[in-house]
Structure 1
């Protein structure tokens, strides 16, 4: 025996799976059987004849009738000494009892489900004992009603038809006293030994359960206006229920219905069609709708279980899918409503268009229809942008539309769609987490195309309907014709109002603009770089044309610095993060999280491969932007046949008495003026550019050494500022400027001199900077956007010397290191590249010059 028990224990999970599958199979089978007995066309006719308040009251009665059964599970959990959350108890109990109503098999299904849901962490023997005590009381309420019904038959109206069921009522009525005696006198652990309080609570629960069942059936009949005597219907209903339970048919399907149809037809001369309608509504509101709610609870608990098992991924995925479906439905519904109001005849003439449109407004006038359609589109923008502020207005709009539909034009298809929309909105609440709307170019493009197309279509139709329009000269498109100009004008007025509403609502979603990061604090930035190190781009932060974002580790220390500029909804980060490399991943993740919460999308510009791998984990796409030339200083030399030209250049400049010097700050005003003169001559009519490049700023140049080339008279003819990288491994420069009168090869002389000096200082390699689009898209397997970049590189030399720049740097480069731009998949690569083009090529103007357009946008940040 022990071997058999152990065999079952070892395969417990398998038997649990078989049980769940069996229950699902039974439920599906019974639902299929019920579906065959229900005529949905007939239900539609019934509902159309019933007023809304009656349908709502039937629904409320059916839901209240299920609630008493919670008492079974309260007693069960108390018997098992379990303390579960009230919400969990309510949901699981409703699920168990609604499934049991559909496919009960005399309560056996409910016992199996309760064992599975409440007996996981309890000894199996204890669970069986507790369930057996619950099981015997499940029918006590029906037994009590059987006794009362028998008395009604004997002492009530003399009705021979009901007397034939007396034996069934007596049999059912004997069950209650029998179990009372059994629980009192039998002293085993399975049936006896039940506390009196628990017995009374179980009896009361069962009595209330059957009271609810009976009340649901009777009240639905009353609300339908069917004349009947309750004293006759109650015994018939109870007898039919007893026979149905004894037959072990789930939901007493078939036997119960046949008895009720024959009985009610005989007792009250009620037409069979009316009885069938009565039974249909009873099954709908007591069985089907509570069961569907139970399915929702089942899916919720199943998702919670799966969510815990798979680290939250299923819930996140389902919420995301729900959010996307919600956005699609709102945009689709809005467009369809506007089109059905703009060209209503088209939906009548074209069957496929009518099938595509689930919205049917027979009594809905032009004005509210267009208001509703465009409002759904506007609300859809807030939902699509995941803005928290859109939640309440969207629910309010759906409820308002639902109320209007119910009272103005009752359409069940519309009610179902609105109910689905409402459920999706509620379920997607966690997905609406952003604090503000940043109305991006991508959003403006989508909304602009949709709104403009709908508005232009409406205006064109208005012109087409003008009396002066020569219809006789053109092919008449019948569905473009409006019944009257007044109707068209009401719609046009709605469009004007919705345009104002759109502006107000967008402003509401935007709120008070909050920006990411903070204005540069030079002391904090310098302290961080000095302590933890930087890179070839770190010094650009001190140009003061970018904001900074500082990450603090768990100890509260500032360890990582990011420099970026915000343009539209894109926070464009320049280069790799600076600081403690071990904290880069955490810093980037925190930055992405904060920008996302505020509605911005980070773009990481010209970053290294290590950052690409980090950001790929966060779902970022990337495009190669070019390659960076690195000179290995440890092996650099101008000796040998290959460097013969470089030796000649160095010898020539030495013979002509040109000198290389490195000047250290602070610089005298005279020196700065001389450097500015060289810079201005080099610029000519061109404008300074910033962001990824340094520009001539005295404050910026005072922060680093400057390498200069002086002529025989000691005048500066060329210079380059040496950028601090805050590390001994890497050296680089920023501005490279020279006079027109400087001899050819002056920059070669400057570069080689810097190489030699840095080599003496022990620096490992020199970074000569980017060669844009270099070696990008050369493979046939490259990304399509990189293949386009290759074409730009190949044929764009007319405008920019891509190939010439690489060729020059290649003279000294020991290796080429790729650089990438990474962007969120929520961004359009087209708009990312436009933003980079604008922000990286925006001219730097003097502070006293009035700015306009894009320059003003780039210069002015949002107010904090």
Structure 2
């Protein structure tokens, strides 16, 4: 037994969840059964014959009749020493009692719900004792009314149509005295019999509960105009209720209705009238109050699921509702616009006729088309989760509803718009972005929709030009076919109106453009690099062609990223620089900060460890190539493999060429010399940037420079050494030689001397930079984009020497480190690549 209790405790959370899910299943099942018994056509027919004020009064009586049951939970929580907020107690009690009315099972569902909701962190024994007392007295009201009914049929037997109806009433009447006797017999052990005032309160609550049940049934009948005698129908109703309670059928469906149908038809009422009476009674006492409790039940069950599964259900539901909302806007906008392009097609379907006006002249079409375009744009704003789209969305929905009412659209449109309004309100908390950045991916989709619409509108307009209003037949267009000219003018005016209005709305959603991070701040960058170190790409920040994002922890700036923005793509260059222990938090920080402003980070040329980290945040990866590393401790010119390089070095040394590493600051004379070499090397080509260094005096003055001089001491080749703030690896950036003055093999001469110099400085590796697309997509199971990249590598030598570059670096490389591009799954790889080209080719400025 002890093990059983421990096992229950261990899996209590799961059992609790299963109970709530079982309640959901039961409620859904009973609603489906109830749905079969509720004829909506019959309801509409009944409602058409009853005045509106009578329907509202039925609704009010039904709601008030449920209210006394809240008293059960007030007493229960007082016994459990619970002090819930009044709002919470009202909401949960209403939920429990209305669900119990639907699901039933003799009140067992309500006991289970009360135990789970109000019995948290309480001893099982105390909860059981309090609930048993409530449970025992819940039927006392029906028992009292059974005694009244039994007295009544003493003078009017067989009222219910059953041969032994008095036995049911007698059994019901005996329940209440049996409960009182049980209280007296068991004393305090189970029901705390000394609290007679509390017991009296429970009896009164139950009595008023069943009074409400009676009131709903009889008020509905009276408002329907049914002529009946209360004293005659009353025993039938109580007998049916006792039979329903004993059967434990949810809502007493079937047994209650059958007894009532037999009894009332025997009184002379028609079967159709009795069915209608029962139909409205169930609607206003069971269904409507339950519908009011649905949000609370959904919230309670959802909260439990959410807590158990660490917030995943809430996020998933939020995403689903948000997507449904966006689809709702798009569907409405497209249908409204298409109704003016395909009016005859819309006339063929009853539900589509709701979107179509009988008039089709210019002044009726322009508002329709503009409203349709607005729905597409607002849908896009909501899809982008832009907070500025909320108010225009509400204005658009309300304005469209008023317009559709005045323009004689169908009522289905009003229901659709109200539903869309509710969805927009429910999902409003998901709108967190401060500005709207129209991503190329979104622009492509929306542009295709509008282009296809425009083409269809013009083409169909030409085909139906005879239907155009005569007011638009201008004689001034004599040089072309008159009707076609009118069509073009007509279409142009409409499309121009749509375009202007759309641009204004998009401009509003964009708001005041805010950029991510900050401009280059030398003091911050230098402090982080000095204190925590950097990497192979850190020095590129001093080109000042990028912005920086600084991560701060405990008041100290520890990590920075360098990036450029194009469209909504925030292209982050290389790995973050700074304190490695903070990299994970820093990456999440820049992703979140960019997300709020509508930007999507793209991580360019990052190392392998960040692939796994960013994959957790919804990023896919693309292998850009491999970076060639030379292991310096093992580097030597001796040996058969380096024979050719030894000969080259010796030849250039004999010719008078020398290698030298200069320390900054450099004289103006040297800067002028290397500028001449750089310009000659570039020729007609434009400087690249972002991921590559460009010629900038300020940038070059920040680090040592390796140069090659000829016999006369003139510089013929140079390369700036990039500080990595790490003794493990070193690399270079600009590597340029004079096309005419530098001898063949000057770059090998420069590299080999750099290897030897770096070796002497104590570095472990020398990075030769990346070989683009090297070893990308070589496996048959590689991603499709990587397989395409492999084809570019194999057959793209006409445009770029991919294979030649890798072959050259392979002469020295002892290790290849993969380099990756990481992009979010919501972005398209084609547009990511275009953004990379754009930031690389952005105009460079001299520093």
SS of match in other structure, 2:189: coil
Does structure 2 conserve the Cα–Cα contact (< 8 Å) formed by 1:182 and 1:192? Answer: no
Cα drift, residue 201 of structure 1: 4.3
Contact 2:696–2:846 (Cα < 8 Å) also in 1? no
Query: 1:66 and 1:627 mapped to 2: Cα distance?
Result: 72
Partner of 1:680: 679
Q: C-alpha root-mean-square deviation of aligned residues, in Å?
A: 4.1
8 Å contact kept, 1:658–1:712:
yes
Indicate conservation of the 8 Å contact 2:777/2:787, yes or no.
yes
Alignment of 1:320 onto 2:319: yes
1:476: which partner in 2? none
Local SS of the residue matching 2:818 = strand
Question: What residue in structure 1 maps to residue 600 of structure 2?
Answer: 601
- Residue aligned with 2:188, SS: coil
Listed one character per residue, the Cα deviations across residues 24-74 of structure 1 (whole Å, up to 9, x for unaligned) are 676566445433432233234445666777766655654454343222112
Give the corresponding residue for 1:103.
103
Displacement of 1:185: 9.1
- Take 1:122 and 1:406, find their aligned partners in 2: how far apart are those partners? 56
Partner-residue secondary structure (3-state), 1:573: strand
The CA distance in 1 between the partners of 2:356 and 2:151, in whole Å, is: 54
Q: 1:56 to 1:570 in 2, by over 3 A?
A: farther
Secondary structure of the residue aligned to 1:642 is coil
| 1:414-425 to 2 correspondences below 5 Å | 417-418=416-417, 421-422=420-421, 424-425=423-424
Note the alpha carbon deviations across 1:340-387, whole angstroms, 9 max, x for none. 4532431454x7xx7xx6784577976565555444322221221122
2:242 and 2:795 mapped to 1: Cα distance? 89
1:819 Cα deviation from its structure 2 partner: 0.7
Query: Which has the larger displacement, 5-14 or 709-718?
Result: 5-14
555-564 or 221-230: bigger deviation? 221-230
Residue of structure 2 equivalent to 1:754: 754
Per the alignment, do residues 194 and 521 of structure 1 end up closer, same or farther by CA in structure 2, a change over 3 Å counting? farther
Distance change (3 Å), C-alpha of 1:408 and 1:676: closer
Corresponding residue of 2:557? 558
* Structure 1: runs of 5+ lacking an equivalent: 470-485, 848-864
Alpha-carbon distance in structure 2 between the residues aligned to 1:381 and 1:332: 12
Matched position secondary structure for 2:609: helix
Alpha-carbon distance in 2 for matches of 1:193, 1:180: 9
How far apart in 2 are the matches of 1:401 and 1:68?
42
For residues 150 and 376 of structure 2, the distance between their equivalents in structure 1, rounded to whole angstroms, comes to 62
Question: What are the superposed Cα offsets for residues 564-608 of structure 1, whole Å, 9 maximum, x if unpaired?
Answer: 001111110111111122221111111111111221110000111
Match of 1:852 in 2: none
Kept after mapping to 1: 8 A contact 2:619/2:823: yes
**In 1, Cα distance between equivalents of 2:622 and 2:343:** 47
Q: How far did residue 685 of structure 1 move?
A: 1.5
Tell me the CA shift for residue 277 of structure 1.
2.6
Task: Label 1:334 to 1:49 Cα distance change in 2 as closer, same or farther (>3 A).
Answer: farther
Is 1:823–2:834 an aligned residue pair? no
Q: State the Cα deviation string for residues 839-864 of structure 1 (Å, max 9, x = none).
A: 223352569xxxxxxxxxxxxxxxxx
Is the CA contact (8 Å cut-off) linking 1:144 and 1:207 kept in structure 2?
A: yes
Q: Say if 1:359 and 1:414, in contact at 8 Å, map to a contact too.
A: no
Query: Hey, what does 2:791 align to over in structure 1?
Result: 791
**Residue in 1 that maps onto 2:476:** none
Aligned-partner SS, 1:332: helix
Matches within 5 A, 1:266-305: 271-292=270-291, 294=293, 296-305=295-304
Does the residue aligned with 2:641 lie in a helix, a strand or coil?
helix
The TM-score, its normalising length taken from structure 2, stands at 0.86
Deviation readout 1:153-182 (Å, 9 max, x if unpaired): 999xx9997999999889867866886787
Does residue 780 (structure 1) correspond to residue 768 (structure 2)? The answer is no
SS at match of 1:190: helix
SS at match of 2:744: coil
- In 2, the alpha carbon distance for the partners of 1:294 and 1:729 equals 66
1:584 correspondence with 2:583:
yes
| Structure-2 change in CA distance of 1:818 and 1:488 (3 Å) | closer
User: How many angstroms apart in 2 are the aligned matches of 1:442 and 1:96?
Assistant: 48
With the length of structure 1 as denominator, give the TM-score of the two structures.
0.84
The answer for unaligned runs of 5 or more in structure 2 is 469-485
Deviates more, 1:67-76 or 1:749-758: 67-76
Within a 5 Å distance, the mapping from 1:383-402 to structure 2 comes to 383-395=382-394, 397-398=396-397
1: CA distance between counterparts of 2:5 and 2:713?
Answer: 99
The separation in 2 between residues aligned to 1:402 and 1:56, in whole angstroms, is: 25
Structure 1 counterpart SS, 2:650: helix
Deviates more, 1:791-800 or 1:719-728: 791-800
Q: CA deviation at 1:305?
A: 2.0
Task: Give the CA deviation at 1:537.
Answer: 0.8
SS at match of 1:136: helix
SS across alignment from 1:66: helix
CA distance in 1, matches of 2:775, 2:331: 44
Going from structure 1 to structure 2, the CA distance change for 1:417 and 1:678 (only over 3 Å counts) comes to same
SS in 2 for 1:774: coil
The CA deviation at 1:769 is 0.9
Quickly say closer, same or farther: Cα 1:212–1:342, change in 2 above 3 A.
farther
Cα 1:197–1:364 change in 2 (3 A) is farther
Q: Deviation of residue 718 (structure 1)?
A: 1.4
Q: Is the 8 A contact 1:603 1:823 kept in 2?
A: yes
Say if 1:724 and 1:29 are closer, same or farther in 2 by CA, change over 3 A.
closer
